[in-house]
Structure 1
Amino acid sequence: MTENYSKLRQQAESAFGKAQSQLFERQRALDDLNSIVIARNEKTQRLREARLAKELQDRVASAAKSGSKSARKS
């Protein structure tokens, strides 16, 4: 069942369809960018936590090492 639309209506439908598809594409691109930003932030947080844990471990090891040196000198 095909309906006959006026040329003006067909042009309006076509323009609306293009606008809608552009909107959906833009939204999809933004969603992709947002997921990249979220993943990057999560990775940065994991790396920061790992670095801080290693720095703490190094400080504890350094303190233990210097503590044993001073104990030997006494």
Structure 2
Amino acid sequence: MSGDQAVSLFSKTLTQSMSLNRIISERDAVSQAREAKTARLRELRLEKEADDRATALAAAALPKRTGKR
């Protein structure tokens, strides 16, 4: 193998490696963004469920009307 061929092969390998690293980095960023969004939505859901339970308990504690006047 000549020096030029070796340099060309090394350059091609380096380019492929850099492309793979970029793809992996992008995939990781998308994954992290998805995990953050999921965590945020989970927190919002749990907060809403707690509010709904509190509202239901407050409504249950109110005296019931008989409907007669």
Q: Give the TM-score normalised by structure 2.
A: 0.89
**2:36 is the counterpart of 1:46:** no
Local SS of the residue matching 2:2: helix
Which of 4, 12, 21 aligns to 2:6? It is 12
Residue identity opposite 2:52 in structure 1:
D
The structure in which a higher percent of residues are helix is 1
Secondary structure of 2:54 counterpart: helix
Aligned twin of 1:67 = 61
> What does residue 31 of structure 1 align with?
25
**Where in structure 1 are there 5+ consecutive unaligned residues?**
1-6
- The answer for unaligned runs of 5 or more in structure 2 is none
RMSD of equivalent CA atoms: 1.6
Please give the alpha-carbon distance, in whole angstroms, between the structure 2 residues aligned to 1:69 and 1:51.
Answer: 29
Question: How far, CA to CA, are the matches of 2:34 and 2:44 in structure 1?
Answer: 15
Secondary structure in 2 aligned to 1:69? coil
C-alpha deviations, 1:21-42, integer Å up to 9, x for none?
0000000000000000000000
Structure showing greater radius of gyration is: 1
- How far is the alpha carbon of 1:69 from its aligned partner? 3.4
Aligned length: 66
